[in-house]
């Protein structure tokens, strides 16, 4: 956004030389001011956003889920042990009070490996990878949201500061005009009524300047919250990109690229894939399952035909025969979840298409409004200079001069707001099209 040095001609130059309340370097409490541009504001907001930290935790958890799913295909080794203290029968009757019991120990190691699980393990791997991709895309969406919030606060602050400068200049101009009209009144050139009009103009200009200063504090506090700085320790550097910005592509191209790049759409698609894998897992539970196992160990039991040490190995087959339709119902529930997820994707794609179209048109409208505000501002400044010279010569009335001053100030403020709206519209379009970094 370009900064205006002159607002309303030579008098505005005088006005802008006056203090406007903005501080550079150090504030009144000697606190060092941090000057940030748009890129630095984004970086600080991303570093301090709790939603980014939460998204990273989701990605880390999803990656661990992939590791768990991969290791489910590998053999497992389990150690088992036990201890039993029992009393010895005396004449066929247990003597629980006697302290003549025996100590019995059991210890063994068990190795188990899946041979055929109906495809559930492979489906579990696919599901874990889909969930990891969904978490990663969720992190990208959280990042883009933080950037958009930062852009909104940044451009809002730039517009507020621009309007504060304009309001301060208008206040100084009104004061200077009041001083001049008082001189003319003292010389008998204008009536007292004109002095009253300018006094009212000064009061209104002061109120507008106070409002603009309050808006700066509000927007600076909002941006400071995002970048973890206090309002009095923050100062923004105006954006350096040109007013034009990159040329807009055709709407169809932006929509197509947005449907491919939007992280939230990619996340929904990955979640739908994970639900499809749930269907495979539910179907696998209805199929036979085969596991191989081996065990070796030692026990202290002395029952007949029981060895105190040894090993065993074999294959275990599990076949579901009758489960009251529970497994079939679970598979059907999983299929219904897939259908719902697919419908969510359809709805989300429609919403994204509508959002991109709306943001695209907003950018074009904001560009037109900025051009119109620029042209109107130039015309108003020229008319004000003419009115000022005419007033000095007594050819323009006080009301006409005040009106021209009002128009010039308002149009300058509108130009500042239009520039901020244009840049913000570009950021919103980039967000809608999945182009924010």
The CATH number linked to 301 is 2.20.200.10
Is 388 or 346 the better-scoring residue by pLDDT?
346
pLDDT at 11: 38
Kindly state whether residues 305 and 187 are assigned to the same domain.
no
For residue 102, what pLDDT is reported? 62
Q: Examine residue 4 and state whether it is found in any structural domain, yes or no.
A: no
| 25 belongs to a structural domain | yes
- pLDDT tens for each residue of 265-316: 999 999 999 999 999 999 999 899 998 988 888 776 655 455 567 788 889 8
Pair (230, 248) in one structural domain: yes
Q: Does 2 map to a domain?
A: no
**Do 281 and 123 touch, CB atoms closer than 8 A?**
yes
Do residues 65 and 210 both lie within one domain?
Answer: yes
Q: What is the pLDDT of residue 214?
A: 92
Question: Could you report how far apart the first and last alpha carbons of the chain are, in Å?
Answer: 21
pLDDT at position 157 over 60: yes
- In the chain, the number of structural domains is 2
CB count within 10 Å of CB 132 equals 22
pTM summary value: 0.77
Q: Quick check: is 368 in a domain? A: yes
What are the DSSP calls for 391-437, one per residue?
HHTT-S-HHHHHHHHHHHHHHHHHHHHHHHHHHHHHHHHHHHTT---
Q: What pLDDT is attached to residue 97?
A: 53
The CATH number of the domain where 356 resides is what?
A: 1.20.1600.10
Residues 230 and 340 in one domain: yes
Do 194 and 336 share a domain, yes or no?
Answer: yes
Q: 309 vs 152, which has greater pLDDT?
A: 152
DSSP letter (8 states) at residue 32: B
Same domain, 360 and 262: yes
Judged by phi (left if over 0) then psi (alpha if -120 to 50, else beta), residue 315 lies in beta
How does pLDDT run across 43-81, given as a tens digit for each residue? 999 998 999 999 999 999 999 999 999 999 999 999 988
Query: Mean pLDDT over residues 314-342, rounded?
Result: 92
Question: Do 358 and 398 have their domain in common?
Answer: yes
Tens-digit pLDDT profile for residues 187-243: 887 788 888 888 898 898 899 889 989 999 999 999 999 999 888 888 888 875 455
- Residue 399 has a CB neighbour count (10 Å cut-off) of 10
Handedness of CA 410, 412, 418, 421 (dihedral sign): negative
Higher pLDDT, 113 or 29: 113
97-106, 289-298, 379-388, 391-400: least confidently modelled range: 97-106
* Bigger pLDDT: 1 vs 163: 163
Q: Which domain holds residue 158?
A: 9-74+117-285+322-432
Token pair 């009002």: residue: 406
Q: Do 428 and 389 lie in a common domain?
A: yes
Whether residue 1 is contained in a domain is answered as: no
- Return the pLDDT at 240: 56
Chain-centroid distance, C-alpha 14? 43
Which of helix, strand or coil describes residue 116? strand
281 and 292 belong to one structural domain: no
Could you tell me if 80 and 70 lie in one domain? no
Confidence tier at 254 by pLDDT (50, 70, 90): very high
Give percent of the chain above pLDDT 70. Answer: 85
Residue 405 in this model has a pLDDT that exceeds 90? no
437 falls within a domain: no
| Residue where the block lists tokens 């940030």 | 36
Is residue 3, in this structure, part of any structural domain at all?
no
Predicted confidence at residue 90, as pLDDT, reads 53
Does residue 386 lie in a domain region?
A: yes
What average pLDDT does the chain have? 83
- What is the DSSP pairing of strand 234-236 with strand 34-36? parallel
Let me know whether 95 and 215 are in one domain.
Answer: no
As a whole number, mean pLDDT of residues 153-181 equals 85
Mark which of 276, 296, 319 sits at the end of a domain. 319
Q: What is the pLDDT of residue 1?
A: 39
Percent of the chain with pLDDT over 90: 41
**pLDDT for position 428:** 92
174 plus 40 within the same structural domain: yes
């Amino acid at each position: 956004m370009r900064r205006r040095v002159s607002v309303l001609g030579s008098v505005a130059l005088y006005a802008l030389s006056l203090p406007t309340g903005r501080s550079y370097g150090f504030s009144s409490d000697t606190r060092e001011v941090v000057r940030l541009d748009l890129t630095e504001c984004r970086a600080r907001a991303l570093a301090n956003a709790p939603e980014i930290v939460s998204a990273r935790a989701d990605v880390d958890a999803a990656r661990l889920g992939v590791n768990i799913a991969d290791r489910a295909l590998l053999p497992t080794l389990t150690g088992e042990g036990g201890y039993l203290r029992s009393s010895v029968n005396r004449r066929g009757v247990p003597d629980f009070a006697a302290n003549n019991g025996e100590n019995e120990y059991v210890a063994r190691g068990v190795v188990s490996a899946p041979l055929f699980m109906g495809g559930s393990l492979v489906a579990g791997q696919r599901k874990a990878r889909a969930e990891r991709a969904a978490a990663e895309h969720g992190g990208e969406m959280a990042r883009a949201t933080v950037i958009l919030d930062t852009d909104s606060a940044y451009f809002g602050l730039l517009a507020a500061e621009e309007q504060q400068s304009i309001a301060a200049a208008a206040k100084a101009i009104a004061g200077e005009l009041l001083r001049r009209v008082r001189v003319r009144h003292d010389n008998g050139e204008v009536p007292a009524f004109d002095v009253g009009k300018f006094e009212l103009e000064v009061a209104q200009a002061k109120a507008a300047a106070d409002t603009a200063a309050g808006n700066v504090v509000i927007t600076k506090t909002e941006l400071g919250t995002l970048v973890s700085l206090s309002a009095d320790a923050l100062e923004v550097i105006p954006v350096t990109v040109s007013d034009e910005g990159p040329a807009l592509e055709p709407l169809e191209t932006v929509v197509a690229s947005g449907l491919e790049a939007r992280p939230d759409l990619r996340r929904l698609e990955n979640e739908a894939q994970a639900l499809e894998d749930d269907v495979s897992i539910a179907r696998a539970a209805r199929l036979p399952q085969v596991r191989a196992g081996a065990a070796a160990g030692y026990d202290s039991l002395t029952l007949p035909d029981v060895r105190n040490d040894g090993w065993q190995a074999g294959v275990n087959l599990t076949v579901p025969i009758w489960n009251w339709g529970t497994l079939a119902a679970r598979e059907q529930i999983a299929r219904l979840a897939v259908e719902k997820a697919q419908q969510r994707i359809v709805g989300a794609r429609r919403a994204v298409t509508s959002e991109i179209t709306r943001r695209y048109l907003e950018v074009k409208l904001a560009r037109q409004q900025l051009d119109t505000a620029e042209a109107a501002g130039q015309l108003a400044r020229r008319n004000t200079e003419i009115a000022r010279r005419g007033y000095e010569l007594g050819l323009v009335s006080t009301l006409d001069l005040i009106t021209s001053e009002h128009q010039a100030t308002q149009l300058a403020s509108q130009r500042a707001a239009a520039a901020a709206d244009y840049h913000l519209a570009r950021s919103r379009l980039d967000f809608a099209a999945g182009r924010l970094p």
